[in-house]
């Protein structure tokens, strides 16, 4: 008697499930329940497993960090300049269209 369930009770539950869900859906449901239990076990083992320490910014050498910050600033400045140029070009084009409409 696993889990304190009597064999007659187990037979009744299986028969009712078979009547309610049908013989076609019962294996699908069993498979889905099995996958859910497997994923639950995997998640629990991941929680209990020791985690690797991620590399933090403090562990990077100060000189390297400064270079990375400078590269990021340079990239941002280039992006800002490109967007300003595109905006100026768009404004110039729209003002030219407005001037054409007035004429």
In the chain, at which residue ranges do the beta strands (DSSP E only) sit?
none
What is the C-alpha to C-alpha distance for residues 24 and 89, in angstroms, rounded to an integer?
65
Q: Which residues contact 29 (CB under 8 A, 6 or more apart)?
A: 21
pLDDT at 18: 86
Q: Which residues contact 65 (CB under 8 A, 6 or more apart)?
A: 57
Residue 101 has pLDDT above 60, yes or no: yes
pLDDT at 40: 92
What percent of the chain has pLDDT above 90? 13
Q: pLDDT tens digits for 39-59?
A: 999 888 888 877 666 555 555
Q: Which residues contact 68 (CB under 8 A, 6 or more apart)?
A: 60
Mean pLDDT for all residues in the chain: 79
The pTM of this model reads 0.37
Q: pLDDT tens digits for 1-22?
A: 556 778 898 889 888 988 888 8
What is the C-alpha to C-alpha distance for residues 46 and 35, in angstroms, rounded to an integer?
16
Domain 1-51 has CATH 1.20.5: yes
């Amino acid at each position: 008697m696993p889990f304190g369930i009597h064999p007659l009770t187990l037979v009744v539950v299986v028969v009712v499930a078979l009547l309610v869900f049908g013989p076609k859906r019962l294996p699908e449901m069993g498979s889905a329940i099995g996958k859910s239990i497997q994923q639950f076990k995997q998640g629990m083992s991941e929680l209990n497993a020791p985690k690797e320490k991620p590399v933090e910014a403090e562990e990077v050498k100060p000189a390297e960090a400064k270079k990375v910050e400078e590269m990021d600033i340079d990239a941002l400045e280039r992006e800002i300049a490109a967007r300003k140029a595109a905006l100026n070009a768009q404004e110039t084009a729209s003002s030219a269209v407005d001037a054409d409409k007035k004429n």
